[in-house]
Amino acid sequence: MYDVAIIGAGVTGCSIARELSRYNLKTILIEKDNDVANGTTKANSAIIHAGYDPVPGTLKAKLNVAGNAMFDKITEELDVPFKRVGTLVVAFCEEEMEEVRRLYEQGVDYNVPDIQVLDKEALLEMEPNLSDEVVGALYAPSGGIIGPWELAIALAENAVDNGVELKLNAEVKDIKKLDEGYEIVTASGNVKTKYVINAAGLYSDKIHNMVSTPTFEIIPTRGEYHLFDKSEGDKVSRVIFQAPSKISKGVVVLPTIHGNLLVGPNAEAIEDRQGIETTREALDFVAKQGSKSVKELNFGNVITSFAGLRSKTPENDFIIEESADAKNFINVAAIDSPGLSAAPAIAEYTVEILKELMGELEENKDFNPIRRPHINFIELSDEEKAELIKKDPRYGRVICRCESITEGEIVDIIHRSVGATTVDGIKRRARAGMGRCQGGFCAPRVMEIIARELNKDITEVVKDRNGSYILTGPTKEN
Amino acid sequence: MKSREMICIVCPVGCHLTVHEDTTAESGYRVEGNQCPRGAVYGVKEVTNPTRVVTSTVKIKNGLLPRLPVKTDGDIPKELIDECMKVINSVEVEAPIKVGDVIISNVLDTGVDIIASRSM
Amino acid sequence: MMLNYDIVVIGGGPAGLAAAIEAHKNGAENILVLERDRELGGILQQCIHNGFGLHVFKEELTGPEYAERFIQELKDMNIEYKLDTMVLDINEDKLITAINTTDGLIHIQAKAIVLAMGCRERTRGAIHIPGTRPAGVMTAGTAQRFVNMEGYMVGKKVVILGSGDIGLIMARRMTLEGAKVEAVVELMPYSGGLTRNIVQCLEDFNIPLLLSHTIINIEGRDRVEGVTIAKVDENRKPIPGTEKHFECDTVLLSVGLIPENELSKNVGIKINRITGGPDVNESMETSIEGIFACGNVVHVHDLVDWVTEESTRAGRNAARYVLGQLKSEDNIVEIKPGKGIRYIVPQTARLSNVEDKLLLYMRVDDIYENMKMVIKVDGKELRSIKKRHVAPGEMESVNILKKQLDEFEDIKEITVELVEEE
């Protein structure tokens, strides 16, 4: 019997798993897919919001500012790339400037650090590539950018290293109430547990309804993005929001943590919880809307477009509480924006709820918050590079030439405790195939390495989820 | 066949040829639409005896790669391409191989060999 | 480790091989070729079809055969090369940083560098096809490597987007290996590939070529399950009501090549907006003295024979540079594309370095019939060449004899334009 089972290994579930690994608990993290961070976490704006935006009195308002403040420590402990580049909410007319000033007042109320209102001149000095139409902006220096899936993977890895069990490929089919606790029926065996934390993202209402009458409904809301080549990466240095107007919430233009440029998203409520296809209309809308903020965006340099789904509810707030009619079953649901920014605070808040139910928890004396750092070969000095290749020659072989990722790095991320098993898993952890050729040159080599290291046939290596096979078999066999 | 249309591939101009049956002509055919004499020769050949070079790979053991590129050492009749592929797919060779080595001699009695198109 | 060479060639494909060999023939001694792959020959090793070498060898060779002739010549000359070696950086003093598994990190000081890194394929993102992002969408070149070199099939039912030569060649290859190619879809009203490939790769196998069509949606959550295609209007916009659905498990993309110039950009070489490659002069020298470039890194060629020709010039001039035979000159002649011409390589010339002739490579901007190509020197017609048929997919070349240029004084500009023939 487990003490706690967390359903869903997105950034929320992984944050809670790591927070729980500070205590002597038997914890299991259950994920339907073959990798962590495979849903909403892998396709969003990758922003750590400063926190001036949420409606007063909401959990979002409380946990966003708190979560934001925790990122310096957590990203340092876990070796996750994170930069407080600052965020700007840009206004294009006086009406929008009023909104900017309202957000400023609200941000002051929420204790968002160092925010200020900028006039046009100050704004353009900061961001010379912004449109000439801008009139001013709200500047929040504490806002930042991060690699969201890298954060979730690091959290999961650190949790596992501190004793949490990770169960992949385990879609939850049913949950039975036991006399004490629950039995979770999954695609790969049953799990008995005293407490359940429902962090199932887009499916959190379905999971909840397995043990309770429906109390909330997730509306999958699709957002589409353009990702640009690094050649466009220095168009802006900060996250550029557009002031919300009656017509539109606006799209964001931002540098990504790895130096690309990201433009998006739109927001479209859809029915399909797997509906991550992009559409011509939305991509065109995003392109047009993004071009409003920044001059001369060259869409010829887009290297990929993608869509992600957010778990929205009409109430527009996080749901973090014990289910009314399922004892010891805690929902952590409706985590849409600013869910990523709030994630560390959500984890603490959830563990507080657990403590109320379980009583004081015994600390895990062996808890080690530090994750073994990733080697990022290309960022090392020449001396360090030479030294490393001498120690392990596999660091002397570049596999992904666009991002300069070596075989040594790929082998390392396959063999970590939450290691990569798929081509996209490698891409998310080491950026191989993330560059301008989008894996054209390195995919065959990456597949070869996965097959060799995991002792598989190369035809069994998948791109992403199970079923996303790449090769159909050897030639000359029919 | 009374007449057939085709695009000439002798040079990049790509003339649209029409090849008519014509008992009065020496070859038995008359070609229209060609802008040079080579087009006429091509047109007649395409309707009388179209031939192609086939390139593919064969399995190879102990090579740098698991497949060795091969080609027919001359044209074979177009209708034999499928059969030729079956023969190519059925063989396996062992490294080392030199470019030009005969892999299958006189494939399908065409008088044409399948040869290695690289060393390995 | 610190090494010294007279000439370092970056890239061991057809361009790099020809440049290194020609540099050696012209008296350069200390030459090193750096290749990132496991063997020399570059992309030719996966182009197992024939049709290479008609101009250089006057016979039809396959890609690997063409490559092997150069590799053999390079080895016979004892020119040094390093495989599995990635250049991380070059600087303007021509100091190269590279790594491999045996030497570790190496610094190489060169007197001259020849850039011959080739090109890469445009991807799905660059052409903005909406839909899902399943496995089974792949560039034609990646598929070609899997099928021809690694020996694996990438699908059973295939739709190919783009009718450039790689797309056409892969339609035949996939068919010969047992796949069903449903269609080749081409955005433009004409194919970018050679007519001979349309006949021998598509018509021979009854594969439809859908001109003025494009893929407007890709379906399938994990693996491709189908595509929707539509006819496009003259502005290349899909026409509503013309949608057709194809069931398939694979989409191969042959939608263009992009010169791979990250190293060139980092060192500050001037890149041409249209070619995507460095601006070069008559000696194939870039904006940085002593750094030369040739092949697909400069502009995308359609025949490897032209890559070889261009690269021999780069190699010869790199040798002349090292031997102090290239002259710097104040008068730089600009070579500019006129009406109907998209670009011309080289972009500039120093006439004192032109030996017997100045060779210009260019591409036209559309398909034209019955034109003449007019070469002008400072606005005066030098000569014109009749062209019955020109197309953007077929590179044109023009030779200008040195002695003709010698009849002019202080030349500022050479232009080439297309004019309708009366």
**Residue numbers in A near C103 (CB within 8 A):** 396
Structure tokens at C114: 């020849």
Residues of A with CB below 8 A from C219's CB? 277
Q: Of A444, C148, A471, nearest to B59 (Cα)?
A: C148
Strands A189-198 and A182-186: antiparallel
Classify A399 in phi/psi space as left (phi over 0), alpha (psi -120 to 50) or beta: alpha
Class of the domain covering A87-141+219-312: alpha beta
CA distance A478 to A409: 37
Residues B42 and B67 in one domain: no
CB contact under 8 A, C150 and A306: no
Tally of domains within chain B: 2
Burial of A475 (0-12, 13-18, 19+ CB in 10 A): buried
For residue A432, the model assigns a pLDDT of 59
Contact B91/A at CB under 8 A: no
CB pairs B-C closer than 8 Å: 73
Chain B residues with CB under 8 Å of C67 CB are: 118
B57 and C38 within 8 Å at the Cβ level: the answer is no
Question: C151 Cβ partners below 8 Å, 6+ apart?
Answer: A474, A475, A476, B57, B59, B65, B66, B67
Query: Is C131–A463 a contact, with Cβ atoms under 8 angstroms apart?
Result: no
CA C241 to chain centre: 37
- Residue C199: list chain B partners with CB under 8 A: 6-7, 9
Q: Return the CATH class of domain A377-460.
A: mainly alpha
CATH architecture of C1-121+256-326: 3-Layer(bba) Sandwich (3.50)
Q: What are phi and psi of C79, to 5 degrees?
A: -75, 135
Q: Is A273 on the interface with C (CB under 8 A)?
A: no
With CB atoms and an 8 Å threshold, state whether C65 touches B35: no
Cα separation values, A387 from A137, A384, A390, C1, C118, Å: 48, 5, 5, 12, 31
How many CB atoms sit inside 10 A of residue A213's CB? 10
**C-beta of residue C211 within 8 angstroms of C-beta of residue C231:** no
Q: Are residues B65 and B89 in the same domain?
A: yes
Buried b (16+ CB within 10 A) or exposed e, A331-363: bbbbbbbbbbbbbbbbbbbbbebbeeebeeeee
Nearest to A469 among C124, C138, C223 (CB): C223
DSSP C148: I
Q: Are C118 and A395 in contact (CB under 8 A)?
A: no
Q: Encode C162-188: b = buried (16+ Cβ within 10 Å), e = exposed.
A: bbbbbbbbbbbbbbbbbbebbbbbbbb
CATH number of C329-422, picked from 2.60.40, 3.40.710, 3.30.2310, 1.20.1070? 2.60.40
- Beta carbons of A389 and C126 less than 8 Å apart: no
Q: What is the ipTM of this complex?
A: 0.93
Residues B78 and B107 in one domain: yes
Probe site for chain C from B5, B98, B117 (most C CB atoms < 10 A): B117
Which residues of chain A have a pLDDT value below 70? 246-248, 432-437, 478
> Containing domain of residue B72, as a range?
55-116
Residue A162: name the closest of A399, A462, A366, A413 by CA.
A366
Strand, helix or coil for residue A341 = helix
Residues A123, A89: Cα–Cα separation, whole Å:
10
CB contact under 8 A, C389 and B14: yes
Q: Do A227 and C125 touch (CB under 8 A)?
A: yes
> According to the model, what pLDDT value does residue C152 have?
97
Residue numbers in B near A475 (CB within 8 A): 57, 67, 89
Neighbours of chain C (3+ CB pairs under 8 A): A, B
Q: Which residues of A touch B89 (CB under 8 A)?
A: 475-476, 478
Yes or no, beta carbons of B9 and C200 under 8 Å apart:
yes
- Beta-strand ranges (E) seen in A94-208 are 116-119, 136-140, 144-146, 165-167, 172-177, 182-186, 189-198
- Interstrand relation of C413-420 and C368-377 (parallel, antiparallel or unpaired): antiparallel
From CA A3, how far away is CA A181, in angstroms rounded? 9
Listed in sequence order, the DSSP H helices in C153-299 are: 165-176, 195-197, 262-267
Contact in structure between B95 and B120 (CB atoms under 8 Å): yes
**Which candidate from B8, B52, B99 shows the least CB-CB separation from C200?**
B52
Mean pLDDT, consecutive 10-residue stretches, chain C (422 aa), reads: 95 98 97 96 96 90 97 98 96 96 96 97 80 94 96 97 94 97 95 86 96 96 96 94 97 93 95 96 97 98 94 98 91 95 97 94 93 95 90 90 91 96 78
Give the pLDDT of residue A248: 63
- List % helix, strand, coil for chain B (3-state, nearest 5): 25, 35, 40
- Is the CB of residue C106 less than 8 Å from the CB of residue A441? no
Of the candidates A277, A468, A476, which has its C-beta nearest C223's C-beta?
A468
The answer to whether residue A234 neighbours chain C at the CB level (below 8 Å) is no
Q: Based on the domain organization, do B19 and B68 belong to the same domain?
A: no
CA distance C164 to chain B (A): 14
Give the residue from A239, A231, A242 showing the smallest Cα distance to A257: A239
Same fold, C1-121+256-326 and C123-255: yes
- Digit-coded pLDDT (tens) for A267-323: 999 999 998 999 999 999 999 999 999 998 988 888 889 999 999 999 999 999 999
Give the whole-angstrom CA distance, residue B52 versus residue C197: 12
Residues of chain A with CATH 1.10.10: 377-460
CATH number of A2-41+148-217+315-358: 3.50.50.60
Which residues of A are known catalytic residues? 49
| Contact B69/A at CB under 8 A | no
How far does the CA of residue A303 sit from the closest CA of chain B (Å)? 31
Do C99 and A396 lie within an 8 Å CB cutoff? yes
For residue A232, give both structure tokens: 């466009």
Cβ–Cβ contact C200 with B under 8 A: yes
Question: C177 and A475 in contact by Cβ < 8 A?
Answer: yes
Touching check for A458 and chain C: CB below 8 Å?
yes
The Cα of B60 is separated from the nearest Cα of chain C by a number of Å equal to: 10
Residues B35 and B67 in one domain: no
Tally of CA atoms within 13 A in the half-sphere of C169 that contains its CB: 26
Query: Which fold does the domain C123-255 belong to in CATH?
Result: FAD/NAD(P)-binding domain (3.50.50)
B61 burial (CB, 10 Å; 0-12 / 13-18 / 19+) is: exposed
pLDDT in tens, B9-58: 877 677 889 999 988 888 889 999 888 888 999 999 999 999 999 999 99
Cβ neighbors of B87 (< 8 A, separation 6 or more) are B104, B107, B108, B114
SS (H, E, C) A153-169: HHHHHHHHHCCCEEECC
